[in-house]
Structure 1
């Protein structure tokens, strides 16, 4: 779950998310269950990671 804290978007299970989306293949495997929502989540997460760097 992504939450907003001190003006930043953070994921409560950040390390787990890093592992899950480490490769495109893993992201696609995750997306199979609910493609639209999962892909939306993947790209939102990547945007958050980009902003935090």
Structure 2
């Protein structure tokens, strides 16, 4: 049933994802994704949190 698929899967179970005709994940790997800006934003956010906590 649909509920089983939704409730009992993890990211590892998803092989490929297409959105608006473009592959976002193909054969288990993210494609056409530039993670560098996202990682930089997360790093900056983490530094702000640490600074706000005085750590």
Q: TM-score, normalised by structure 1?
A: 0.35
Q: Which structure has the higher relative contact order (CA within 8 Å, separation 6+)?
A: 1
Greater fraction helix: 1
Q: TM-score, normalised by structure 2?
A: 0.34
Instruction: Give 1 or 2 for the bigger CA radius of gyration.
Output: 2
